[in-house]
């Protein structure tokens, strides 16, 4: 219990601390609210259940780095407990009453939780500090070639040291203070086993010394909190506050890769994309404060993993350090990330998917591309061919629309003119319609549909590129024109039906765009991947396969826009199993798959300089499984993996799932 003078001194210290903390918090609020858009506070109530799971169980943390995640959880769960424990300690310090401890079974359980939480936090923080400062894993830093704020190079380590010291002092002193208290009482407490064991060390020590020790321990424990609060707004520890806000308030999206709608018919729009940080959405600015600087996003980034300049972690860290050093949101985005790094992004979504606090660095990068392409006409020159193809012939291969059905010559593939009321509209896609290798996928899928007797049709010469590559390269004008045209055509096909038009695609990029981004244009459809439809046909008994084929050993490469962006991972594998082939998994698979390197419009440009090519890196991983065939479910992946196989001189085949199934049809 504090003396009267101590109570006054402590109260004054708290007020001073809260004043400076308030100034720091208001500065943060000013930065966040200078961003674009408005916060929808009603989202909190819609997501309350999910929020409790994510925050209470630290579920996003456990998806990666299991050992450190467990240590983080020990600290986190302990701190959640300490919100109540510290309050009880303050009440005791001012009143001498241990309200929560003298309530029967509740008090017993409370003391047990406090004891366990104390030990968990101390153990967790010591282990994490040992990892960061002694083991120094390379995954907790970035290469010297990465554009990183000069003060971040040393500042991250200093910040980690300050946070670790605060946590250790706060909790170890609380632990010691409680042990002194038990020693003064002269008896053990079975509900506080570790504190009781420690209290035995003070047997024989004069009671006045123990009481003085308890006072000192309180000042060091709770005093550490008071001293830390003004530093809290500029420390990475503020993720405790902003991570839950991230999960609660992020704008609703159908997929991690869904980009915001821009109405190009609105002539009042003068700014496209993000030239400065204030051009970002408020939630993108808030990301910098939620960032815990764990570098997990960097660790899964295909560009960084192959020696490129891009580090999604560095982008968020640069935003934070810019603020911490007095900067405002008027800063140009290219001061925070290099232009070369911006164009190295494959938009695979791995950084967004793996972030334990819900940050979206990919979205910042694509907004910067919007500005570069739309406002500055500053984009890789290799993209010009694809842009012109999409503008003139409505496909990036620049093939005439009159040739769009050449792939189906000699086959029975009905168009909507021939079958006006199909049950399934097959969106063939530009690659299967125009690229000689991808055409084999279209021909195989047509064989499957015809064998199953599916009532389907294709748009034929009326089908145009969905605009995915244009949008990911920042050319919203090209995307807007293609999307508007395609939605008008699709709506006319489904106009006579009482249910939403059902579309099947052989390209995950088409699936993603039509399913997740066309609704903003008035196009609402049921969109599935061709492997999902294959499974439906197998389940309905409409197709059967010869299971006694060759000795195929297959590893499936998950397309980013199928597995990670749209959470379709089982369907391709189930389709392969139905074909009776042996399958083996690559180390990185499912929604943690490694990119092929073609997404984000990379298909149409040269890859940035690095230590390796993305597709070669992925193919080496496939090769290590011992498979003789790499199965894919995306025409871009088909091209990239085929090129990698040729470059490697490997005899491993690369085939779409549809080709494998079609080969085994009875």
Identify the pLDDT of residue 496: 65
DSSP reduced 3-state for 261: coil
Domain co-membership, 433 together with 284: no
**For residue 131, how many other CB atoms are within 10 A of its CB?**
15
pLDDT at 1: 76
Residue 624 structural domain? 553-663
Residue 441 in contact with residue 637, Cβ under 8 Å?
no
Residue 258 lies in a domain: no
253 domain residue, yes or no: no
- Write the secondary structure of 595-621 as one string of H (helix), E (strand) and C (coil): CCCCCCCHHHCCCCCCCCCHHHHHHHH
Q: Give me the pLDDT at residue 138, please.
A: 94
Question: Are 295 and 342 in the same domain?
Answer: yes
8 A C-beta contact, residue 604 and residue 385: yes
Q: Output the domain CATH number for residue 416.
A: 3.40.50
Sign, Cα dihedral of 287, 289, 290, 292: positive
Q: How far is residue 197's CA from residue 200's CA, in Å, rounded to a whole number?
A: 6
Helical H segments across 96-145, by residue range: 105-130
Per-residue tokens: 29: 């609020």
Question: Residue 31: which residues within 8 A CB-CB, separation 6 or more?
Answer: 285, 323, 328, 329
pLDDT at res. 497: 66
- Residue 498 confidence (pLDDT): 66
Q: How many structural domains are present in the chain?
A: 4
Q: Are residues 351 and 392 in the same domain?
A: no
**Residue 290 sits in the same domain as residue 338:** yes
70 and 219 part of one domain: yes
Give the whole-angstrom CA distance, residue 314 versus residue 510. Answer: 31
Asked if residue 257 is part of any domain, the answer here is no
Residues 559 and 517 in one domain: no
**Which residue is listed with tokens 């395609």?**
486
What is the rounded distance in angstroms from the CA atom of residue 339 to the CA atom of residue 325?
A: 23
Residue 178, classified by CB atoms within 10 Å of its CB into exposed (0-12), middle (13-18) or buried (19+), is buried
The DSSP string of 159-204 is: HHHHHHHHHHHHHHHHHHHHHHHHHHHTS--TTSHHHHHHHGGGTT
Q: Residue 341 belongs to a domain with what CATH number?
A: 1.10.1060.10
Q: Which residues touch 201 (CB under 8 Å, ≥6 apart)?
A: 179
Q: Six-digit token pair at 593?
A: 């798959």
What whole-number distance in Å separates Cα of residue 481 and Cα of residue 557? 32
Which residues contact residue 553 at a Cβ distance below 8 angstroms, ignoring those fewer than 6 apart? 581, 582, 583, 584, 626, 627, 628, 629
Mark whether 614 and 649 lie in a shared domain. yes
Same domain? 505 vs 597: no
Q: Which of 345, 375, 405 is the last residue of a domain?
A: 375
Element housing 210 (H / E): helix 207-228
Query: Please, where are the H alpha helices in 34-149?
Result: 43-46, 48-57, 66-95, 105-130
Mark whether 43 and 176 lie in a shared domain.
yes
Last residue of a domain, one of 348, 375, 402: 375
Q: Low-confidence residues of the chain, pLDDT below 50?
A: none
- Examine the fold and report which residue of 197, 222, 248 is the final residue of a domain before the chain moves on: 248
Query: What are the structure tokens assigned to 378, written together?
Result: 């500053």
Shared domain for 578 and 430, answered yes or no, is no
Tell me, yes or no, whether 369 and 392 share the same domain: no
Helices (H) and strands (E) in the chain, counts: 27, 8
Considering the domain architecture, whether residues 405 and 275 belong to the same structural domain is answered as no
CA-to-CA distance for 398 and 391, rounded, in angstroms?
Answer: 9
């Amino acid at each position: 219990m504090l003396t009267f003078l101590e109570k006054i001194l402590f109260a004054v210290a708290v007020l001073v601390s809260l004043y400076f903390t308030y100034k720091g918090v208001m500065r943060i609020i000013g930065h966040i609210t200078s961003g674009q858009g408005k916060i929808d506070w009603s989202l909190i109530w819609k997501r309350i259940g999910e929020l409790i799971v994510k925050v209470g169980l630290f579920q996003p943390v456990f998806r990666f780095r299991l050992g450190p995640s467990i240590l983080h959880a020990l600290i986190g769960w302990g701190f959640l407990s300490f919100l109540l424990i510290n309050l009880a300690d303050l009440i005791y310090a001012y009143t001498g009453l241990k309200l929560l401890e003298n309530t029967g079974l509740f008090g017993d359980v409370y003391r047990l939780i406090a004891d366990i939480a104390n030990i968990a936090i101390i153990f967790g923080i010591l282990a994490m500090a040992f990892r960061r400062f002694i083991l120094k894993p390379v995954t907790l830093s970035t290469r010297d070639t990465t554009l990183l704020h000069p003060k971040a190079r040393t500042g991250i380590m200093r910040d980690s040291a300050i946070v670790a010291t605060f946590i250790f002092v706060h909790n170890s002193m609380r632990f010691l203070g409680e042990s002194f208290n038990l020693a003064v009482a002269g008896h053990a407490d079975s509900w506080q086993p570790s504190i009781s064991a420690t209290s035995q060390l003070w047997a024989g020590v004069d009671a006045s010394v123990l009481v003085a020790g308890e006072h000192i321990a309180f000042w060091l424990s709770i005093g550490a909190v008071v001293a830390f609060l003004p530093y809290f707004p500029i420390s990475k520890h503020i993720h405790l506050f902003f991570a839950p806000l991230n999960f609660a308030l992020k704008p609703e999206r159908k997929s991690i890769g869904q980009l915001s709608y821009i109405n190009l018919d609105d002539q009042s729009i003068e700014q496209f994309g993000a030239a400065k940080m204030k051009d970002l959405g408020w939630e993108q600015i808030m990301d910098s404060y939620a960032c815990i600087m764990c570098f997990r996003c960097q660790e899964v980034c295909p560009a960084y993993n192959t020696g490129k300049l891009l580090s999604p972690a560095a982008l968020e860290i640069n935003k934070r350090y810019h603020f911490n050093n007095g900067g405002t949101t008027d800063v140009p985005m290219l001061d925070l990330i290099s232009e070369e790094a911006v164009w190295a992004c494959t938009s695979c979504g791995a950084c967004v998917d793996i972030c334990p606090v819900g940050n979206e660095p990919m979205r910042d990068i694509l907004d910067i591309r919007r500005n570069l392409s739309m406002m500055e006409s500053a984009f890789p020159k290799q993209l010009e061919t694809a842009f012109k193809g999409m503008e003139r012939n409505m496909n990036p291969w620049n093939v005439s629309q009159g040739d769009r059905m050449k792939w189906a010559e000699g086959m029975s593939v009905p168009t909507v003119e021939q079958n006006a009321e199909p049950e399934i509209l097959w969106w063939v896609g530009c690659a299967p319609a125009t690229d000689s290798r991808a055409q084999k996928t279209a021909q195989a899928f047509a064989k499957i549909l015809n064998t199953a007797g599916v009532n389907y049709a294709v748009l034929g010469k009326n089908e145009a590129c969905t605009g995915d590559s244009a949008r990911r390269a920042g050319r919203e004008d090209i995307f807007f024109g293609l999307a508007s045209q395609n939605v008008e055509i699709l709506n006319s096909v489904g106009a006579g039906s009482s249910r939403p038009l059902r579309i099947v695609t052989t390209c995950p990029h088409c699936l993603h765009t039509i399913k997740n981004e066309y609704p903003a244009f008035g196009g609402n459809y049921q969109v599935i991947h061709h492997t999902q439809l294959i499974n439906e046909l197998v389940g309905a008994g409409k197709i059967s396969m010869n299971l006694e084929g060759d000795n195929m050993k297959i590893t499936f490469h998950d397309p980013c826009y199928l597995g990670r962006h749209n959470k379709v991972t089982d369907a391709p594998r189930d389709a392969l199993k139905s074909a009776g082939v042996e399958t083996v998994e690559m180390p990185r698979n499912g929604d943690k798959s490694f990119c092929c390197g073609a997404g984000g419009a990379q298909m149409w440009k040269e890859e940035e300089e690095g230590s390796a090519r993305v597709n070669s890196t992925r193919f080496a991983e496939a090769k290590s499984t011992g498979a003789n065939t790499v199965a894919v479910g995306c025409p871009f992946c088909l091209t990239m993996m085929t090129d990698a196989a040729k470059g490697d001189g490997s005899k491993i085949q690369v085939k779409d799932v549809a080709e494998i199934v079609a080969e085994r049809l009875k």
